[in-house]
Amino acid sequence: MDNAAFSALSLHKDLLKNLESLGYQKMTPIQAQSLPNILNNKDVIAQAKTGSGKTAAFALGLLNKLNVKQFRVQSLILCPTRELADQVAKEVRRLARATHNIKVLTLCGGMPFGPQIGSLEHGAHIIVGTPGRVEEHLRKGTLRLGNLTTLVLDEADRMLDMGFQPSLDAIVEQLPRNRQTLLFSATYPDQIQSISRRIMTDPVMVAVESIHDKSTIQQHFYKVNSDKERMTALQLLLQKYQPESSVVFCNTRRETQEVADELVDFGFSALALHGDLEQRQRDQTLVRFANKSTSVLVATDVAARGLDIEALDAVINFQIARDAEVHIHRIGRTGRAGSKGVACSLYTDKEAYKVALLEDYLDQLIVGEPLPSMQLLEKRTFSPSMETLQIDGGKKQKVRPGDILGALTSKTAIGKEGGADTITGSDVGKINIFDRCAYVAVKSDVSKRALKKLGQGKLKGRNFRARLISS
């Protein structure tokens, strides 16, 4: 029997027939791993990206156990953006088209509230929505979820990135405990582990890609003749590897600031992280680095300790660490799921003894490599893809992620749908809300437009000042 055949599963006949008519001949790897568990009514954490067939994996699970005759909301699918919610709803409808009368409703922020209330009054079996808006309907009593049997969190990592954790918690509180919970996420940071522990029961984990593996880190060592050459070497390495996010480790606070300033002078996007920063500066630096609007963070070991960055493309040791354990700890921060991370270390003659200590510790021979060609510095192509907007309103003003996302992507503020002024959910990155201010990352090519939209639109019925912050 073919293990990847849908017919090997206990799926309803009409679902199977429809899959055939859609041309889905075999299960994708994530479907083959997750569907048997999902159909067994298990809670499942699946590490899968867009394009893996993840939507069909959870959609077939919830459709197979849906009771069409019971006209109550039985499944809730939460997505980070309206675009994704629309795509998911479309796929669910396609998979459900052979079953009569299944009603799928989307409830997303940035859309008028009134018509959604009307649709809810007509009833639905499956809701696909964004967390902020679903929470609002629950609070207003326009949505009731007492009959829910399946909860799906799609792109859970992105939802957490966008600050939806409080909304997710508020929604889950309203759901029956005896339910199936399915969590799909491209990455698996600590935050996902902690939320899954709270809202799932004995989950089965499936993944199609191997997760973080330290052996995938390539180490490179470069000998430099002077401190001046160290700076040039750093630029060459940044230019060669073009990391989207990298940390440069220095041994002193003063040096982090000097190196960051010099990198900025040379046109790189860099910020220093050290113990002398005020809390607000530190928050801002971490936000800008995590949301990818700054690509190089120059830090001391102490300052980097609290750094909650799940994967870096590169770690560069401006000097070799004091001891081997610190070195291993530093380079362990690089290496993304499935792809390789780079760790580069610069050393002078005076530090050669540290290299010898590392050789002992790692039990491997370390050979210095020649630096990349100076020609690399002639054409600089180094710029982050995102920019950060700061908004002068935060938790105290009850500003929530959904409000910001809504103001940015609303179709009414300026411009028409599909016109040059449209901003979509995929242009928006991380959203961080502090007590009195908030930050949102947007793609660089829409940053001016985003600023204009925030300036013209209202958040919570008020105008808040917003500005672009850049290095």
Positions in the binding site for ligand AMP (CB under 6 A)? 24, 26-28, 31, 50-56, 91
Q: How far is Cα 286 from Cα 289, in angstroms, rounded to an integer?
A: 5
DSSP labels for 251-283?
SSHHHHHHHHHHHHHTT--EEEE-TTS-HHHHH
Quote the least distance from Cβ 154 to ligand AMP, whole Å.
Answer: 9
Q: In the complex with ligand AMP, which residue's Cβ is closer, 25 or 364?
A: 25
Q: How are beta strands 180-185 and 438-443 bridged, if at all?
A: unpaired
DSSP at 13: H
Quote the least distance from Cβ 338 to ligand AMP, whole Å.
Answer: 16
Quote the least distance from Cβ 18 to ligand AMP, whole Å.
Answer: 12
Q: Which of 89, 92, 87, 97 is nearest to 18 (CA)?
A: 97
Q: How far is Cα 430 from Cα 162, in angstroms, rounded to an integer?
A: 5
Q: In the complex with ligand AMP, which residue's Cβ is closer, 207 or 297?
A: 207
8 Å CB contact between 338 and 346: no
Q: Which residues pair with 218 in a beta bridge?
A: 342
Q: In the complex with ligand AMP, which residue's Cβ is closer, 28 or 130?
A: 28
Quote the least distance from Cβ 332 to ligand AMP, whole Å.
Answer: 31
Quote the least distance from Cβ 27 to ligand AMP, whole Å.
Answer: 5
Quote the least distance from Cβ 42 to ligand AMP, whole Å.
Answer: 20
Quote the least distance from Cβ 6 to ligand AMP, whole Å.
Answer: 7
Q: In the complex with ligand AMP, which residue's Cβ is closer, 63 or 312?
A: 63
Q: Which residues pair with 151 in a beta bridge?
A: 76, 181
Contacts of 265 (CB under 8 A, 6+ apart): none
Quote the least distance from Cβ 152 to ligand AMP, whole Å.
Answer: 12
End-to-end CA distance of the chain: 59
Quote the least distance from Cβ 160 to ligand AMP, whole Å.
Answer: 20
Q: How far is Cα 399 from Cα 121, in angstroms, rounded to an integer?
A: 29
8 Å CB contact between 406 and 463: no
Quote the least distance from Cβ 57 to ligand AMP, whole Å.
Answer: 8
Q: In the complex with ligand AMP, which residue's Cβ is closer, 34 or 74?
A: 34
Quote the least distance from Cβ 132 to ligand AMP, whole Å.
Answer: 23
Contacts of 122 (CB under 8 A, 6+ apart): 103
Helix, strand, coil shares of the chain as percentages rounded to 5? 40, 20, 40
Q: In the complex with ligand AMP, which residue's Cβ is closer, 56 or 145?
A: 56
Q: In the complex with ligand AMP, which residue's Cβ is closer, 50 or 426?
A: 50
Q: In the complex with ligand AMP, which residue's Cβ is closer, 88 or 172?
A: 88
Q: In the complex with ligand AMP, which residue's Cβ is closer, 55 or 317?
A: 55
Q: In the complex with ligand AMP, which residue's Cβ is closer, 93 or 240?
A: 93
Which amino acid is it at 175? L
Q: How far is Cα 337 from Cα 346, in angstroms, rounded to an integer?
A: 26
Residue nearest to ligand AMP (CB): 55
Helix axes 352-362, 324-331, angle to 10 degrees: 80
> Radius of gyration of the chain from Cα atoms?
25
How many helices (H) and strands (E) in the chain? Answer: 17, 17
DSSP at 319: S
Q: In the complex with ligand AMP, which residue's Cβ is closer, 52 or 75?
A: 52
Residue 372: strand, helix, or coil: coil
Residues recorded for the chain: 471
Q: Which residue has the tokens 């590490």?
A: 47
